Amino acid sequence: MAADKPAGNMLWGGRFTGGLDPLMVAYNESIYFDQVLHRQDILGSIAFARANLKGGILTQEEFSAIEKGLLAVEQEWAAGTFKIVPGVDEDIHTANERRLGEIIGKDIAGKLHTGRSRNEQIATDMRMWLRDELRKLEEYLVSFLGVIARRAESEVDYVMPGYTHLQRAQPIRWSHWMMSYGFQFASDLERLREVIKRVNRSPLGLGALAGNPFGIDREMMAKELGFEGIIWNSMGGVADRDFVAEVMQWGSMLMVHISRWAEDLIIYSTAEFGFVRLSDAYSTGSSLMPQKKNPDSLELLRGKSGRAMGHVVGLMTTLKGLPSTYNKDLQESVEPMLDHVRTVGDSIRIAEGVLSTLATQPEKMRAALDGFMLATDLADYLVRKGVPFRETHHISGRCVALSEETGTPMAELSYEQLKGIDARFGEDVRDVFDYERSVEMRAAKGGTSKASVLEQVKVLKAMLE
């Protein structure tokens, strides 16, 4: 392949006289994905120019021309009229500076980059973009949690089987199941708020690796751009992509929770369970079997969790062997960051849509209950009569065995049959075989009684503020 593209028109091209392999040009370019950072790059450049004005590098007239020109460039991006020049606009920084020079002249535009490196630019742009996008994700997550809290409150009377090992275990409230995931997502919300604080630190003014030689006011720039503080080491700051990896770690944890939540709903929506019915808006049909209604929304949520985890594994594999300061490998942090944020954001909103439109089938939930699920209640009954739990557990197991041997539902075993197993059973043992009573007995904080679940809803709502 011919290598005839001159390098002199690149920001870094002064010492290069040979041509560039066209494939290398394309391989090196990031403009077709990092152009999404155009607004952040413009704002960062204006803040940098203002700081250089304060430091005497720019005159007031030069700064005004640069600021006006950069705002004009941003208007082109916003309007969709910005024209990327292939092979010239290597990245968003190059593209914006090239266009600025065309608007205000290269002599003044050329002063913008004084003391500045693209190493600090891209780190600044990424942090600003990510900070703003994470705040959107925070809003999405708060909205989703609001739906969980409202449904848990309004459907608190529905009783269903609770499962361990996918086997019927004990009666619970449907709302208790919702709140179990609600608090997982609420923990994700807490973690997100902490991550945003660490993302929102400014690297602007760090230079290529050694710092800025013109005494630039980094705190002033950070304040203008909405950062909560600055990064304190120039070498570490330009090389740092931990903030991207941490966001992906956070997003992967959230997606694990969404995936498990989706899996439960997939199971509950099957004909064998029938606890819930998905809205047509979040289902698809079969190309062969007209009776099918597939939970594709939930399956995609489950599947995209793997995609999210792949982002963080890929990035951390890239980072693990890099020497200090900036290396071109770090360009590989941008695309997965963009895709990760989009994937997670879309997933939260799809999950909210599914839950908002989900139809519950409380009669199916109650029909799935069976007397064996009250075996622990039977043991607890004897505990209240002073029998050690290890003994009551064995006695209750014998009752289960008798039920299976005789084919008699456990709730229909006669008083004489129960008395024959253990004389300490009284006639009030009949009260045990009541599902509503069973859930109401779990009244300690965090349990599945009505009051406890409603208390959980109250706690969750407070976490959203």
- The pLDDT of residue 7 is 52
Shared domain for 252 and 290, answered yes or no, is yes
Nearest-angstrom CA–CA distance, 97 and 176? 56
In a domain, residue 77? The reply is yes
- The CATH code of the domain that includes 67 is 1.10.275.10
- Average pLDDT score over residue span 146-165: 98
For residue 58, pLDDT over 90 is answered with yes
- Average pLDDT score over residue span 177-198: 98
For residue 12, pLDDT over 50 is answered with no
- The pLDDT of residue 10 is 55
pLDDT tens digits, residue range 98-128? 999 999 999 999 999 999 999 999 999 999 9
Shared domain for 299 and 398, answered yes or no, is no
- The pLDDT of residue 46 is 98
- The pLDDT of residue 401 is 95
Q: How many CA atoms lie within 13 A of 387 on its CB side?
A: 19
For residue 292, pLDDT over 80 is answered with no
- The pLDDT of residue 288 is 55
- The CATH code of the domain that includes 402 is 1.10.40.30
Domain-terminating residue out of 350, 367, 384 = 367
Domain-terminating residue out of 61, 85, 109 = 109
> What integer best gives the mean pLDDT of the chain?
93
Least confident window among 7-21, 281-295, 379-393: 7-21
Shared domain for 76 and 125, answered yes or no, is no
For residue 33, pLDDT over 60 is answered with yes
In a domain, residue 251? The reply is yes
Shared domain for 62 and 124, answered yes or no, is no
User: Which of these is catalytic: 30, 64, 93, 165?
Assistant: 165
Shared domain for 378 and 348, answered yes or no, is no
Are the C-beta atoms of residues 245 and 312 closer than 8 Å to each other? yes
pLDDT tens digits, residue range 228-274? 999 999 999 999 999 999 999 999 999 999 999 999 999 999 999 99
In a domain, residue 216? The reply is yes
- Average pLDDT score over residue span 60-81: 98
Q: Shortest CA distance to 49 belongs to which of 70, 35, 34, 73?
A: 70
- The pLDDT of residue 183 is 98
- The pLDDT of residue 11 is 55
Q: pLDDT category, 2, cuts 50, 70, 90? A: very low
Shared domain for 45 and 190, answered yes or no, is no
Secondary structure of residue 177 in the 3-state scheme: helix
In a domain, residue 57? The reply is yes
In a domain, residue 439? The reply is no
- The pLDDT of residue 4 is 47
How many domains would you assign to the chain?
Answer: 3
Nearest-angstrom CA–CA distance, 186 and 59? 51
Q: pLDDT category, 78, cuts 50, 70, 90? A: very high
286 catalytic residue (yes or no): yes
Structural domain of residue 30, as residue ranges? 20-109
Structure-token pair, residue 87? 């092979």
Shared domain for 168 and 243, answered yes or no, is yes
Q: pLDDT category, 291, cuts 50, 70, 90? A: low
Shared domain for 163 and 223, answered yes or no, is yes
Determine what percent of the chain is predicted with pLDDT higher than 90: 87
- The pLDDT of residue 1 is 37
DSSP string computed for 223-252: HHTT-SSB-S-HHHHHH--HHHHHHHHHHH
pLDDT tens digits, residue range 398-428? 999 999 999 998 888 898 999 999 989 998 9
In a domain, residue 154? The reply is yes
Shared domain for 250 and 285, answered yes or no, is yes
In a domain, residue 457? The reply is no
Sign of the CA dihedral running 193, 251, 180, 277: positive
For residue 18, pLDDT over 90 is answered with no
165 catalytic residue (yes or no): yes
Shared domain for 225 and 325, answered yes or no, is yes
Shared domain for 348 and 210, answered yes or no, is yes
- The pLDDT of residue 88 is 92
pLDDT tens digits, residue range 433-447? 999 999 999 999 999
In a domain, residue 95? The reply is yes
User: Which of these is catalytic: 175, 257, 283, 286?
Assistant: 286
Are the C-beta atoms of residues 259 and 270 closer than 8 Å to each other? no
Q: Shortest CA distance to 163 belongs to which of 3, 373, 12, 5?
A: 373
For residue 20, pLDDT over 80 is answered with no
Domain-terminating residue out of 49, 80, 109 = 109
Are the C-beta atoms of residues 137 and 348 closer than 8 Å to each other? yes
Sign of the CA dihedral running 366, 371, 376, 382: positive
Shared domain for 180 and 74, answered yes or no, is no
- Average pLDDT score over residue span 362-367: 98
